[in-house]
Amino acid sequence: MKVSALSPALLGLVASAQAAAVASSIQYSTVTGYFLQDETATDASTFDYTAVNFGLINRTYPADQVLKHQGKDLSQWERFYHQVQKLNTDSDNDVEYKVLFLGRHGEGYHNAAETYYGTPAWNCYWAELDGNGTSTWHDAALTANGVNQALIAHNFWQKQIDEQNIHTPDNYFTSPLTRSLQTANYTFNGLNLPHNAAKFRPLVKELFREGISIHTCDHRRSKSYIKNLFPGWPIEKGFTEDDELWNGVTAETSGAQDARSATALGEVFFAKSTKEEAFVSVTSHSGEISSILRVLGHRSFSLKTGAVIPVLVKAEKVKGATSTTTTVSWTASPHCTVPPVTSVTACVCPSSAAPVTTPLVTDV
Ligand X SMILES: *[C@@H]1O[C@H](CO)[C@@H](O)[C@H](O)[C@H]1NC(C)=O
Element (H, E) at 13: helix 8-23
* Closer residue to ligand X (CB): 49 or 173: 49
Binding stretches for ligand X (CB under 6 A): 52, 58, 112-113, 116, 132-135, 182, 185-186, 189-190, 229
Closest C-alpha among 56, 87, 83 to residue 67: 83
* Closer residue to ligand X (CB): 122 or 269: 122
Strand partners, 317: 26
Supply the minimum distance, in Å, between the C-beta of residue 150 and ligand X. Answer: 8
Q: Are 191 and 161 in contact (CB under 8 A)?
A: yes
Supply the minimum distance, in Å, between the C-beta of residue 117 and ligand X. Answer: 7
Other Cβ atoms less than 10 A from the Cβ of 94: the count is 12
* Closer residue to ligand X (CB): 96 or 128: 128
Catalytic residue among 96, 114, 210, 252: 210
Amino acid at 163: E
Supply the minimum distance, in Å, between the C-beta of residue 166 and ligand X. Answer: 14
Whether 105 is catalytic is: yes
Q: Kindly tell me the burial class for residue 62, based on how many C-beta atoms sit within 10 Å of its own C-beta (0-12, 13-18, 19 or more).
A: exposed
| Rounded (5°) CA angle 91-95-98 | 100
Whether 285 is catalytic is: no
- Report the C-alpha gap between 107 and 88 in whole angstroms: 36
Supply the minimum distance, in Å, between the C-beta of residue 325 and ligand X. Answer: 35
Supply the minimum distance, in Å, between the C-beta of residue 230 and ligand X. Answer: 6
Other Cβ atoms less than 10 A from the Cβ of 356: the count is 15
* Closer residue to ligand X (CB): 81 or 269: 81
Report H helices in the chain: 8-23, 64-69, 76-89, 109-117, 119-124, 144-164, 178-188, 223-229, 254-266, 286-295
* Closer residue to ligand X (CB): 62 or 232: 232
Catalytic residue among 82, 96, 105, 215: 105
- Report the C-alpha gap between 3 and 31 in whole angstroms: 36
Supply the minimum distance, in Å, between the C-beta of residue 115 and ligand X. Answer: 8
* Closer residue to ligand X (CB): 34 or 208: 34
- Report the C-alpha gap between 353 and 154 in whole angstroms: 48
* Catalytically annotated residues: 105, 210
